[in-house]
Amino acid sequence: MDEFFRRLERRFKELEEAVKREIETTFRESRLESARKPFFAESMESLYTVRDVSDRVIVYVDLPYATDSKVV
């Protein structure tokens, strides 16, 4: 019976190491993949627009989740 538990414990340790290696590999690959992509250049948009109109300057600002009905 002791031999059974020793084998079971050894198998669990092997499984734990395999899962750990897989997670580390996946994490490393995803970091390398995200490092290759220029995140800001492709996905970020300007949060504001400035317009010079002769006698004044108008600034439009993007406010996430804001609607006209929420204007105070």
User: Tens digits of per-residue pLDDT, 6-18?
Assistant: 999 999 999 999 9
Instruction: Give pTM, 2 decimals.
Output: 0.41
- The helix/strand count (H/E) of the chain reads as 2, 2
pLDDT-wise least confident of 32-41, 42-51, 63-72: 32-41
Residue 42 CA from chain centroid, whole number: 15
Give the per-residue pLDDT at 45.
Answer: 64
For residues 23-37, give the mean pLDDT: 73
DSSP letter, residue 70: G
Give the per-residue pLDDT at 1.
Answer: 79
Q: Is the pLDDT of residue 70 over 60?
A: no
Owner of token pair 């989740």: 65
